[in-house]
Amino acid sequence: MGSFSELIKNFDKTRDYVRDFFIYGFKVRSEFNRKSSRTYDDEKRRAESWLDGFFRYVNTPRGKQAAITLDSGRIYENPLYKAYYSKSFTDNDIKLHFMITDILADFPEGLCVREVTEKLLDRYGEFFDEQTVRNKLKEYAAEGIYISIRKGKKDLFALSPDTPAGLFEKFPGLINAVKFFSESSEFGVVGNSILRAAGIKNDIFLNKHSYIVHTLEDEILLALTENISRKRFIRITNFGKSGSCEFRGIPLKIYVSCRTGRRYLIMYLPDRKRFCSFRLDYIKTVSDMGECPEFDETARDLAKNEDKAFGVSFGGSRDWGGRVKIVFRADEEREKHIIDRLYREKRSGRVERTGENLFTYTGEFFDTNEMMSWLKSFTGRIVSVSGLGDYAEKRLRSDIVRMKKMYSDCFPEKEG
Amino acid sequence: MNIFTEINSAYYKAAEAVLSLQTEQGEPVTEKKITELIAKHAFKDSTLFIPEKLIPKGDKPSDWRLLKADCGGFVSVLRHKPRQFLTAIQKSWLRAKLSDPKMGLFLDDEQISELSDFLKDIQPLYDDKLFRRFDIFSDGDNYADPRYRKIFGLLLTALENHQYIIVRYLSGKGGDATASIVPIAVEYSAKNDKFRIHAVKQNGSGIVMNVGRIVSAELTEETAQSLPTADEYFSRRRCDTPAVVEIKPERNGLERFMLEFASYEKESALDPETGLCRARIWYDKNDETELLIMLLSFGPVIEIISPKHLRQQAAQRALRQYELFFPEGDTGK
């Protein structure tokens, strides 16, 4: 294990392994067939370190099974944020980080590159060439840690006056806000880094439907939101079930399922003349391909079509679309909670009372298949369905027949 | 902007903790103390890696050259205690969160405007309009409601100070009730877009209520003498025995199940012969109906094996649905 390192250069491999440990709790070593056993061992060791206490091992006839198991609704801090704190660095990086900051603390008016370089040698006996020091100063100025001041022909660098502690002192209520938002699905890790810098931990807020594994997609998410905001054409590399593929298109929106935590890029593909969705956990790279003059027009087209997407599908090569009509039964006096469910979960469909204890749901969607699992969550209350298409309707009925058979031991009196 | 940067490295954090302690105490730190700080601030195995980079050995300086040997211990080469910064990406993230109506639960309008002013030159990290949460429930809490904001603030104060707070709330059945409670945790559901409070009543029993159902709240002077920890509180709510389900190898059911139930604590075992996966799921007793609905949404791909009452509820719903679809009896399909 001589070359094992806790630190990593990028997320690609790690993302896949952690997701597999997290989601497929039943795989054994030999089933992680992407790379060598050594890679598996290293990735597992890293994940174990980040998720200390959440790993569980079961010996099975197939081998030892490693899984991450936790109730994410009962944890105050996403343990996978630790993955973001594992970026590798050089000895010079860490030296310059602490030493330059220490020097600049004595010069609030700022120092130029040469002065910083000289002081590194004077104070700490560390010789660096000016270019290395300049790069670090510029990098830290871009990160907001230093500020750059133009004085005559010189660029001076000084420490930024803004600190997490200073901000929290000025806005005490912000501590709880950052605690709360640090566990939110949109870049919560950044909030966590603020708390960490201030030595504070979230000890108040829990997230009931929280899917912590998706934080590993945040780098990809950031690249996508930046490109969308800047109205760019992009190219993505997508690793789906059928292997790796490249797609070029206009990125428009991020669709989020609050039920599963999955996030999708919605992109217009000019080659196919259609909107398509891509799971963020399958996207490996995002490349900026230049300005997109058609962005606004395409975004308007998407806006016109959004209500017809029940989930993330804009239809496919087969015609799954249609105008659906579903009648549900719910006792108006005793089952108001069911009626409430229909109204709050209807998305862009319509719900109307169409008879005593009867409620009719109508809507037009590109892909009615996406409705099936929602529909089945109302098992026992669906009076009739139409517009789902022959295939889906037949399948729904045959599913109910199968379920009745599956649970037949629970109602023997009905069987005779 | 970078999320994944060495500036946030756990190794930097560990080094910073060592340098800070030494500067604060003004005396050399021991190797033992350094190891303790590394274990606290970095990863599980970091004590195997960081000491050799940080601690000088004899006359030989260490790779990082941040410490030097002194009087049997180690002292910082720095003149100052390392400081923390609010980075550009952190400001940008805060700027984005300022547009979230939930920010009003933590800051009043004046503070929000002051913070906006502080961040006025910063671009938000993202625009929330880029996100479409397509299956979010439409009856989320109204975070802009001044009464809601006030009640939320009082609940947070009560939680932080272990203070009793008298709340009047609408019960699930539409009735009106009053309780004196100490909040234990605040829970947000992104799916429901609602906050719930987990609390303990004066008689020691637990209670969960939607903040949106609380009509009024009044802080008392009384503080709770002893409260269960969050772990104790939630373990009381946990099911006595896990639900056992069987997932069939069809329609990508296994992956869908694993993803949708990723937030649950569970154990799974796959039978390679049959492809069947058996999973045990632990859940909050009060959320059993939600679990049932989720399981039913998989249709025949998931069979609930136990507990018996959960299996029976699924069976009743399946039978009722069968009778709705086939009022004349079995079709033989």
| Residue B158 falls inside a structural domain | no
- Token pair of A108, please? 């609030």
Q: How many domains would you assign to chain B?
A: 4
pLDDT, residue B239, reads: 92
**Is residue A376 very low, low, confident or very high in pLDDT (cuts 50, 70, 90)?**
very high
Contacts of B126 in chain A (CB under 8 A): 186-187, 222, 225, 229
B247 shares its domain with B229: no
- pLDDT (mean) for A52-81: 80
**pLDDT > 90: percent of chain A:** 71
Radius of gyration of chain A (CA): 27
Q: Mark which residues 303-322 of A lie under 8 Å from B by CB.
A: 306, 309-312
Q: Residue A398 above 90 pLDDT?
A: yes
Question: Based on the domain organization, do B105 and B67 belong to the same domain?
Answer: no
Q: Which residue has the tokens 């008689």?
A: B203
In a domain, B331, yes or no: no
Task: Answer yes or no: is pLDDT of A42 > 50.
Answer: yes
- State how far the Cα of B252 lies from the Cα of B204, in Å rounded to an integer: 45
Domain boundary among B234, B266, B283: B234
B6: amino acid identity, one letter? E
Q: Is A127 on the interface with B (CB under 8 A)?
A: no
pLDDT at A11: 77
Per-residue pLDDT reduced to its tens digit, B10-45: 999 999 999 999 999 999 999 999 999 999 999 988
The overall average pLDDT reported for chain A is 90
User: Is the domain of B256 the same as that of B229?
Assistant: no
Comparing CA positions, the residue from A213, A211, A212, A188 lying closest to residue A20 is A213
> Cβ B106–A174 below 8 Å, yes or no?
yes
**A190-247 pLDDT, tens per residue?**
999 999 999 999 999 999 888 888 899 999 999 999 999 999 999 999 987 778 899 9
3-state secondary structure of A109: coil
Residue B313 Cα, gap to closest chain A Cα (Å) = 9
| Chain A residues 351-390 within an 8 A CB cutoff of chain B | 372-374, 376-377, 379-383
A95: which chain B residues are within 8 Å (Cβ-Cβ)?
64-66
Rounded to two decimals, what is the model's pTM?
A: 0.94
- If asked whether residues B201 and B268 sit together in one domain, one would say no
- Cβ atoms of A162 and A156 within 8 Å: the answer is no
Q: What is the pLDDT of residue B160?
A: 96
Mean pLDDT of B196-207: 93
Least confident of A44-53, A280-289, B24-33, B42-51: A44-53
- Put simply, the answer to whether B321 touches A380 (Cβ < 8 Å) is yes
- CA closest to B315 among chain A residues: A407
Structure tokens at A218: 């945040």
d(CA B2, CA A190): 10
Position A416 scores a pLDDT of 40
Range(s) of the domain holding residue B27: 6-76
CATH number at residue B275: 3.30.70
Provide the pLDDT confidence category of residue B333 given band limits of 50, 70 and 90. very low
Q: How many CB atoms lie within 10 A of CB A110?
A: 20
Choice among A70-79, A340-349, B153-162 with the minimum mean pLDDT:
A70-79
Q: Tally Cβ neighbours within 10 Å of residue B64.
A: 22
Q: Tokens 């937030």 belong to which residue?
A: B263
Contacts of B258 in chain A (CB under 8 A): 23-25
Nearest Cβ partner for A171 among B107, B134, B196: B107
Distance from CA of A260 to the nearest CA of B (A): 5
Which of B178, B200, B234 terminates a domain? The answer is B234
- CA dist B303 and B285 (Å) reads 20
Mutate which of B120, B135, B184 to test chain A, going by most A C-beta atoms within 10 A? B135
Min Cα distance A172 → chain B (Å) is: 9
Which pair of structure tokens corresponds to residue A172? 């005490």
| Record: contact B126-A229, CB cut-off 8 A | yes
Between CA B77 and CA B55 the distance in angstroms is 12
The ipTM is 0.95
Would residue B211 count as lying in a domain?
yes
More confident residue, A307 or A243: A307
CB contact under 8 A, B265 and A225: no
Strand partners, B207: B199
**Is A272 strand, coil or helix?**
coil
Predicted pLDDT at A415: 46
B252 shares its domain with B314:
yes
Whether B188 and B210 map to the same domain: the answer is yes
Q: Which of A38, A30, A96, A34 is nearest to A66 (CA)?
A: A30
SS3 letters across A172-204: CHHHHHHHHHCCCCCCHHHHHHHHHHHCCCCCC
Please tell me whether residues B256 and B304 are part of one structural domain: yes
Q: Least CB-CB distance to B90: which of A142, A184, A194?
A: A194
Segment B137-146 mean pLDDT: 97
In this structure, are B204 and B275 located in the same domain?
no
> Do B247 and B297 fall into the same domain?
yes
Query: What per-residue confidence (pLDDT) applies to A48?
Result: 82
**Residue B53 located in a structural domain:** yes
Would residue B307 count as lying in a domain? yes
Q: Is the pLDDT of residue B53 over 90?
A: yes
> Max Cα separation, chain B?
93
User: Domain for residue B150, yes or no?
Assistant: no
Lowest mean pLDDT among A2-16, A137-151, A276-290, B113-127: A2-16
Single residue among B214, B234, B254 that ends a domain in this structure: B234
User: What is residue A304's predicted lDDT score, i.e. its pLDDT?
Assistant: 95
* Residues of chain B with C-beta less than 8 angstroms from the C-beta of A99: 77-78
* A36 min Cα distance to partner chain B (Å): 22
The pLDDT mean for chain B works out to 93
Question: Which residues fall within 8 angstroms of residue B159, CB to CB, at 6 or more apart?
Answer: A204, B182, B183, B184, B185, B186
